[in-house]
Chains A and B, each alone.
Chain A
C-alpha cells in the first residue's frame, strides 16, 4: 500500500511516453480532484478533508510507488495530515479510513452515502461533543 503525494513525480520528467488512447468517460486526477477536498456525509454535514489516499493494486495487494495500475481503496484523514506536511508516514494502525465504496459523488466536494456518526475519522469530534461541549449548558439546543 502506498499513498499519493503531490510533490513526488512518479516518473522522470524527461521520460519518453507512448501515445495513450483518449480516455473514455470522466477522468479524475487524484491530486487535483481528490486530495484536499471537503467530504460531506449523506446529510450534507462536513466530515473531514481528504488528507491522503490509500492505494492498492487491482487485486488488493500493496501498491508500490510508480508501479502499475492503482486503485483508491480509502480516503484518509487525521494524523496523516501531519506526515503529508512534514514527511514520513504514520503506522497503518493510526490511519483513519473512509472506504471508497462509501463515496457516492466526486465534485467540488465529495459526498458519502453513509452518515458521518459511525465513521472512525470523527472520533475526536464525538469525544469533544460528549465530554466538553455537550456538557456546557445550552450546548445541545438550537441557537435562538
Chain B
C-alpha cells in the first residue's frame, strides 16, 4: 500500500511539475494562431522528453554521476566548457522567465505591479533552495501545480465544436492566415518547450539528491512514462482553450491575462482562482528547478561539492552560484523586459542547445563502464537515434527560421 502511494505521489508530482511558463505561453500562443494543428509536436516532444529523462535518470541512478560530470568527462574541457556556457545562459534565461511568470501570476491575483513582486518571488525561491528539503520542495510544488487540470476541465465547459478541434489535431494544416515558415518556427518552439535541457540537468541531479540506485529505475520509469504524457495532455488542453476562444476572433495571445481568460470564461471566478494558484505553483516550481540547475551544471563541470541534501556550508560555491543566478534574473526583469517575450526566446534557444546535452547522455547510456547491465536496450536505442536526428534538425533549423520569420511575428 505504501509503495502504491509512493508511485501515485511520483506520478502526480510528475504531472504537476511538467508544466512551466514555457509550456503555458507557447501552447497558448500556438493555440490562438494555429488551433490544434501543432498538437502533433507536443506528442513528439513528450515522447522525446520521456526518452531523454528516463535515460539520464537511469545513468544517474546506476553510476551516481549527474549529467554535467558526464559531459565534462566525455567531451573534455573545451567542448564541455562551450556547452556549459550555452547551457548556463539558457538556464538563467529560463529562470528569468519563470520568476517573471510567478510575478505576473501574482499580479493577476493582486493587481500589484509585477516589478514589486519580482524581488519577493526571487527571495521566496532562494529561501526554499536554501532551507527546504528536496523531496518536500518537489512534492508540494508538483501537487499544487495539479490545479492546472482546470485547463482540461475548461475545454469541456467551453462546449467546443469537437469535430472541428479533432479535425485540426488529426489533419494538421497551416491556417490560411499564417506563413509556412512561421508554422515551423512555432513547431520548434513547442518542441523546445517540451524538451528543455534544464529538465534533464534537474532530473539527473535530483536522482543523485534522492540517492536513487538501480532499484529505483522501475519507479522512475513509471513516473516519467505516465506523468509526463498526462502533463503533455494539459499542454494540449491549454492550446485547445486558446484555440476555442481566440482563433475564431483572430486575437493573438501576448499576455498572461489572455492565457487564463478562457478558464475564466468557462468557470468564472472560482476557476480563475484555481488556475492562478496552479500557475504560481508551476512557475515557482520551475524557478526552483532552473535555479538549482544553474548550481548543478557549474558545480558538476568544476567538480565542486553540490546538492541540497548537504547543508549550504558544505556546498558553499554551489549555493553562491545560485544566489548570483537569482540576482542576475531579478536584474534582467527589473529592466521592464516582458517575461512573456523572454519565455518565447528561451524555448527556441532550448531547442537550439538541445543536441549538446542529448548526445553525451545517449553515448553514456550505452557505456558498460558506467552502466554495467543497465545499458540501453535496442528499442530505446532505436528511439534514441530517431530523436537524435529530430533534435539536430530542430537545432539547425531554429536560427534561420527565427531570422526569416522575425521570431514568429
B212 to chain A, nearest CB (A): 16
* In the complex with contacts A109-B65, A140-B311, A142-B311, A125-B77 CB distance below 8 A: no
By beta carbon, the residue of chain B nearest A126 is B316
A134 adjacent to B308 (CB under 8 Å): no
Q: CB < 8 Å: which of A49, A108, A125, A140 contacts B72?
A: A49
Instruction: For the complex, give the distance between the alpha carbons of A141 and B312 in Å.
Output: 8
Q: CB < 8 Å: which of B72, B301, B302, B313 contacts A139?
A: B313
Contact with A along B39-71 (1 / 0, CB 8 A): 000000000000000000000000111000100
By beta carbon, the residue of chain A nearest B303 is A49
By beta carbon, the residue of chain B nearest A116 is B305
What number of residue pairs across chains A and B have CB atoms under 8 A from each other? 94
Stretch at the interface among B130-138, B150-158, B353-361: B130-138
A143 adjacent to B77 (CB under 8 Å): no
B320 adjacent to A45 (CB under 8 Å): no
Q: CB < 8 Å: which of B72, B301, B313 contacts A134?
A: B313
Assess whether A56 is interfacial by the CB under 8 Å rule: no
Instruction: Give the size of the chain B interface in residues (CB under 8 angstroms).
Output: 35
Q: How large is the interface on A (under 10, 10 to 19, 20 to 34, 35 or more residues)?
A: 35 or more
Query: What residues make up the interface of A, taking CB atoms closer than 8 Å to B?
Result: 6, 35-39, 45-51, 77, 81, 84-85, 108-109, 116, 124-126, 128-129, 132-134, 136, 138-144
Q: CB < 8 Å: which of A6, A81, A116, A129 contacts B313?
A: A129
A84 adjacent to B305 (CB under 8 Å): no
Instruction: For the complex, give the distance between the alpha carbons of A125 and B319 in Å.
Output: 11
B311 to chain A, nearest CB (A): 5
In the assembled complex, which residues on chain B have CB atoms less than 8 Å from the CB atom of A49? 69, 72, 301-303
Q: CB < 8 Å: which of A46, A84, A139 contacts B77?
A: A84
Assess whether B73 is interfacial by the CB under 8 Å rule: yes
Q: Please give me the 4 A-B residue pairs with the lowest Cβ-Cβ distance, nearest first.
A: A49-B303, A129-B316, A128-B316, A133-B316
* In the complex with contacts A38-B303, A133-B313, A85-B134 CB distance below 8 A: no
* In the complex with contacts A109-B65, A143-B131, A46-B306 CB distance below 8 A: yes
B132 adjacent to A143 (CB under 8 Å): yes
In the assembled complex, which residues on chain B have CB atoms less than 8 Å from the CB atom of A39? 303
